[in-house]
């Protein structure tokens, strides 16, 4: 299948194999996509879970909201945050279609970005807009900005800081301010959260190395050459 209409017209429980090729490269950002051509991450997740859950031996499904990462690299926070909302919808549909008693769902990221939330914006302020005014140069700053990336704004001709008040920050492709000019924003060094529910999800507690994540998956699902819950139950 190659478009959204085809995806929605197929019974996911009736096909043994399905290949969806909805773009020659990455899917378009949700805010910029043709809704007739490209399905949402939620719709693809819904289809995949229903297609796979008929297997009596269970299944492993990997779902990635990859455009979140790309939006941040471009310092296009509006696109990145919208992709995060789309990812949340995919998580919800996966949770709605599965049973917490027998399905482990793990939600995490492989790294952070240099996105920052700045200042003291008033309650109800648009997070994608102006955050406040500097007390030093009396120019506005955005609530969201990046440590580096293509959103760097060159100083004005008189040497003062760039004034973002004239920018159209409602544009989906707006590049939010960055401190250091780079063609692509870098990853950050922050710890990332791991959220989980289902069998053995309690093992995802505290701080741990990233390579611990698949070991818990294997343990809970009794796969691989390492120690699993099936081994422990047989002892």
157 labeled binding residue? no
73 is in an annotated binding site: yes
Q: Are 65 and 84 spatial neighbours (Cβ–Cβ below 8 Å)?
A: yes
Nearest to 218 by CA among 207, 206, 209, 231: 231
Residue 111 labelled as part of a binding site:
yes
Which residue in 71, 101, 82 sits closest to 42, CA to CA? 82
Beta strands 187-188 and 112-113: pairing type? antiparallel
- Residue 204 half-sphere exposure toward CB, CA atoms < 13 A: 24
- To the question of whether residue 64 is assigned a binding role by annotation, the answer is yes
Helix 77-97 with 66-73: angle, nearest 10 deg = 170
- Annotated ligand binding at 171? The verdict is no
According to the annotation, is 25 in a ligand binding site? no
> Measured between alpha carbons, how far is 74 from 70 in angstroms, rounded to an integer?
6
Annotated binding site for Zn(2+): 69, 73, 110-111, 187
Binding-site residues sit at 64, 69, 73, 110-111, 187
Residue numbers in the known binding site for Mg(2+) are: 64
């Amino acid at each position: 299948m190659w478009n959204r209409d085809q995806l929605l017209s197929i019974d996911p429980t009736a096909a043994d194999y399905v290949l969806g090729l909805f773009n020659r490269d990455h899917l378009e950002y949700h805010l910029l996509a043709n809704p007739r051509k490209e399905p949402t991450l939620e719709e693809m997740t819904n289809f995949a879970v229903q297609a796979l859950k008929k297997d009596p031996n269970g299944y492993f499904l990997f779902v990635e909201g990859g455009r979140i990462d790309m939006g941040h690299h471009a310092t296009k926070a509006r696109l990145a945050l919208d992709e995060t909302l789309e990812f949340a919808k995919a998580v919800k549909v996966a949770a709605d279609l599965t049973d917490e008693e027998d399905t482990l769902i793990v939600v995490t990221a492989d790294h952070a970005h240099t996105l920052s939330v700045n200042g003291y914006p008033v309650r109800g302020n648009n997070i994608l807009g102006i955050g406040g005014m500097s007390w030093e140069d009396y120019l506005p700053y955005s609530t969201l900005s990046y440590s580096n990336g293509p959103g760097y704004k060159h100083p004005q001709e008189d040497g003062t800081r760039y004034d973002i008040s004239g920018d159209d920050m409602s544009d989906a492709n707006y590049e939010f301010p960055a401190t250091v000019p780079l063609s692509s924003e870098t990853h950050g060094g922050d710890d990332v959260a791991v959220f989980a529910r289902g069998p053995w999800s309690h093992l995802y507690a505290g701080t741990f190395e990233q390579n611990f994540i698949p070991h818990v998956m294997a343990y809970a699902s009794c796969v691989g050459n390492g120690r699993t819950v099936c081994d422990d139950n047989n002892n």
